[in-house]
């Protein structure tokens, strides 16, 4: 009985997802994630502490 229930919910989720993707304006999640990673890298480079040099022994 468990296989039928999990299979049914998987199939219904797939069918609903296909319907929504075809009939509504769904954003491209991969492009959105790539943009977020790019912005995070820019912020990191901007606020990163400067590297220490090895000449601090004086």
Flag whether 55 is in a domain. Answer: no
Which stretches does DSSP call E strand in 1-58? none
Tell me, what's the pLDDT at 12? 94
Which tokens belong to 51?
A: 């590297």
56 part of a folded domain = no
Cα–Cα distance, 40 to 44 (Å, whole number): 6
Segment 34-53 mean pLDDT: 89
Domain residues for the domain of 23 are 2-47
How far, in Å, CA of 32 to CA of 27, rounded? 8
Q: Calculate the CA 25 to chain-centre distance.
A: 19
Question: Which DSSP letter does residue 17 get?
Answer: H
**Global pTM?**
0.47
Note whether residue 42 is domain-resident: yes
Split into its structural domains, the chain has a count of 1
Query: Over the stretch 10-41, which tens digit does the pLDDT of each residue have?
Result: 999 999 999 999 999 988 889 999 999 999 99
Does any domain span residue 52?
A: no
Residue 57 lies in a domain: no
Q: Is residue 25 part of a domain?
A: yes
């Amino acid at each position: 009985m468990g296989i039928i229930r999990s299979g049914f919910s998987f199939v219904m989720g797939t069918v609903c997802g296909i319907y929504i993707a075809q009939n509504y304006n769904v954003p491209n999640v991969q492009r959105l994630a790539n943009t977020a990673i790019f912005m995070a890298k820019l912020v990191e480079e901007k606020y990163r502490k400067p590297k220490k040099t090895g000449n601090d022994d004086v």
